[in-house]
Amino acid sequence: MRDMSMTLDLTLTSLLSNCDRLQGVNMFSQKFIRHALLLSSRGKSGIRCRFRSTQAIAEKVTDGFVEDLRSIVGKANVSTAEAVRDQHGHDESYHETTLPDAVVFAQSVEHVSKVAKLCNDNVVPLIPFGSGTGLEGGINALKGGVCLDISQMKNVIEVNAEDFDCTVESGVTRGELNSYIRDTGLNFPVDPGADASVCGMCATSASGTNAVRYGTMRENVLNMEVVLADGTVLWTAGKNKRSRKTSAGYNLTNLFVGSEGTLGIITKATIRLYGIPEATLSAVVHFPSIQEAVDTTVQVMQCGVPIARIEFLDEAAIDAFNKYSKFDMKVAPSLFLEFHGSPSSVEEQKEVVEEIAKMNNGSNFKWATNADERNRLWKARHEIVYACTALVPGSKPYSTDVCVPISNLPAVIVQTKEMLKKENLVGPIVGHVGDGNFHIFFPVDHDHPEALTKIKAMSEKMSLLAMEMHGTCTGEHGIGMGKRELLEKEVGIEGLRAMQIVKNAFDPNQILNPGKIFPV
């Protein structure tokens, strides 16, 4: 035991001699340095542990560098046109555009690997671009560099219907996958509303309306092909592996899920599929108060009803929803529900939920049994973020995204609503409440910076409240550039340091999506 620790200390010493930032590395961090060292000793992975500031010093993207990019992917697949850079310099959120210097459209994993190596050798920032539907400014090129658009890699590599899994390339969107596999009777249910790329969903650990039944990306990814900063290609669970369980070493798959383009570029994902339910039933029910709607949710969950969707909209959200999507719903706190299963199981779930809702003064149940009605309802629900921004013409969405343990949800939502009133802010509340996750969608108009300051303060208060109630500042949208200052508050300085050590080990030159996740 003593010999072992001496060996580790010696190894640590030699590692530390390569580090730029030694001071203040506590015992906890040293353990991680040892991990990093073990990784770095695998020469082939190319992972080196050189500690640098998390802020990269980007080399300029010169004409010669652009020529090098063109020689890798072909002339037609590199653009420096302002319109193309602009399109790739922002997502769907309020964050203001920051342009990359060049956009590269990769056609293969070999392209991705060679472009990564070139950027790494020249210390040029590299930002993976999935489909640009993120809500935390994840693709903004904060330090310029190369935006690597991988949306044209659109092959479905394999579908193993008998094992309920499939493998897709980075450009395949959730909608495209579901159209492709429709004939198999299977589908991929994780549903962030937007038609995001499956690999982008891995990168942000997305979820959405039916995570309550089927889980988030974390529970649904079995394996990923990832290109590291230096161009190394690895499979997080081993090449061709797709078992439901594994105890083989560290869980690299879940390290890359939610890494937001800062650890590697996900070029393929092997994900779980589910049978399309035999019967589906949707409903809307209205309540006199937020408390009663959310209490209903908690009781439904605590009764163990395997509900597929249970979505909350407050009266402001219903109002925006009616106006934008031409519905005529009662303007009151409401739940949108969906049940999946056999006809008898759906009937049983319906009865239990109806009884619980009625006990909480839920009324005006409206059932949608046919597919057209259901699709219209859920399409409108998915567009709610646009319905909220339409309240202020010319605005963009600022979305909060807290998630708390379900028993704390009623208190957090009620307090949030009181804070909104006190601050006199317009902000409809919408939530995937079965998971304890909810958003306020603030319409933000950049011509009114004072309103944005107020919204940011409110958003921070909400996040702190959620953390105090044992929750998180982001259930599903990620840290991106919007929540960087909150990460340390959530995971603690030790957690943050551990994350920085992992980042430094995988990306010693800090080229991958610099300026994201970590506080500035």
Residue 504: which of ligand FDA, ligand CC(=O)C(=O)O, none does it interact with, CB under 5 to 8 A by kind? none
Comparison of 130 and 428: residue with beta carbon closer to ligand FDA: 130
Angle, vertex CA 305, rays to CA 303 and CA 309, nearest 5: 130
Question: Is residue 215 a contact residue for ligand CC(=O)C(=O)O (CB under 6 A)?
Answer: no
Residue of 188, 190, 84, 200 lying closest to 135 (CA atoms): 200
Find out whether 80 and 102 touch, Cβ atoms under 8 Å. Answer: yes
Q: How far apart are CA 364 and CA 2, in angstroms?
A: 71
Q: Which of residues 111-140 bind ligand FDA (CB under 6 A)?
A: 127-135, 138-139
Question: Is residue 186 a contact residue for ligand CC(=O)C(=O)O (CB under 6 A)?
Answer: no
Residue 40: which of ligand FDA, ligand CC(=O)C(=O)O, none does it interact with, CB under 5 to 8 A by kind? none
Q: State the minimum distance, in angstroms, from the CB of residue 300 to ligand FDA.
A: 20
**Chain residue at closest Cβ approach to ligand CC(=O)C(=O)O:** 385
Q: State the minimum distance, in angstroms, from the CB of residue 132 to ligand CC(=O)C(=O)O.
A: 14
Q: How many residues line the site for ligand CC(=O)C(=O)O (CB under 6 A)? A: 6
Measured torsion, CA atoms of residues 207, 404, 139, 324, in degrees rounded to the nearest 10 = 70
Q: Where are the alpha helices (DSSP H) in 273-408?
A: 290-302, 315-325, 343-359, 371-382, 384-389
Q: Maximum Cα–Cα distance for the chain, whole Å?
A: 74
Q: Which of 217, 384, 429, 479 binds ligand CC(=O)C(=O)O (CB under 6 A)?
A: 384
Question: Is residue 320 a contact residue for ligand CC(=O)C(=O)O (CB under 6 A)?
Answer: no
Question: Is residue 399 a contact residue for ligand CC(=O)C(=O)O (CB under 6 A)?
Answer: yes
Question: Is residue 188 a contact residue for ligand FDA (CB under 6 A)?
Answer: no
Q: State the minimum distance, in angstroms, from the CB of residue 83 to ligand FDA.
A: 18
SS3 443: strand
Q: Which of 89, 125, 189, 192 binds ligand FDA (CB under 6 A)?
A: 192
Question: Is residue 201 a contact residue for ligand FDA (CB under 6 A)?
Answer: yes
Question: Is residue 385 a contact residue for ligand CC(=O)C(=O)O (CB under 6 A)?
Answer: yes
Comparison of 145 and 333: residue with beta carbon closer to ligand FDA: 145
Task: Please give the structure tokens belonging to residue 222.
Answer: 């079995």
Q: Collect all residues with Cβ–Cβ distance below 8 Å to 348 and sequence separation of at least 6.
A: none
Residue 362: which of ligand CC(=O)C(=O)O, ligand FDA, none does it interact with, CB under 5 to 8 A by kind? none
* N residues, the chain: 520
Find out whether 233 and 170 touch, Cβ atoms under 8 Å. Answer: no
Comparison of 188 and 378: residue with beta carbon closer to ligand CC(=O)C(=O)O: 378
Task: Please give the structure tokens belonging to residue 498.
Answer: 């551990």
Q: How far apart are CA 392 and CA 10, in angstroms?
A: 61
Q: Collect all residues with Cβ–Cβ distance below 8 Å to 169 and sequence separation of at least 6.
A: 153, 154, 155, 156, 157, 199, 267, 268
Question: Is residue 439 a contact residue for ligand CC(=O)C(=O)O (CB under 6 A)?
Answer: yes
Q: Which of 40, 54, 187, 204 binds ligand FDA (CB under 6 A)?
A: 204
Taking CB under 6 A as the rule, which mask of x and - marks residues 45-84 in contact with ligand FDA?
A: ----------------------------------------
Q: How far apart are CA 323 and CA 21, in angstroms?
A: 55
Q: Collect all residues with Cβ–Cβ distance below 8 Å to 380 and sequence separation of at least 6.
A: 321, 324, 325, 327, 387
Q: How far apart are CA 93 and CA 426, in angstroms?
A: 17
Comparison of 133 and 170: residue with beta carbon closer to ligand CC(=O)C(=O)O: 133
**Chain residue at closest Cβ approach to ligand FDA:** 200
Comparison of 430 and 517: residue with beta carbon closer to ligand CC(=O)C(=O)O: 430
Q: Which of 311, 476, 490, 507 binds ligand FDA (CB under 6 A)?
A: 476
Number of C-beta neighbours around residue 184 at 10 A: 16
Q: Which of residues 337-376 bind ligand CC(=O)C(=O)O (CB under 6 A)?
A: none
Backbone angles phi, psi at 230, to 5 degrees: -90, 5
Q: Helix crossing, 315-325 with 371-382: angle to 10°? A: 110
Question: Is residue 282 a contact residue for ligand FDA (CB under 6 A)?
Answer: no
Strands 102-105 and 146-149, sheet pairing: parallel
Start-to-end C-alpha separation, the chain:
41
Residues engaged in binding ligand CC(=O)C(=O)O (CB under 6 A): 193, 384-385, 399, 430, 439
Residues engaged in binding ligand FDA (CB under 6 A): 91-92, 127-135, 138-139, 150, 170, 192-194, 196-197, 199-201, 203-204, 206-208, 260-261, 265-266, 385, 476-477, 513, 516
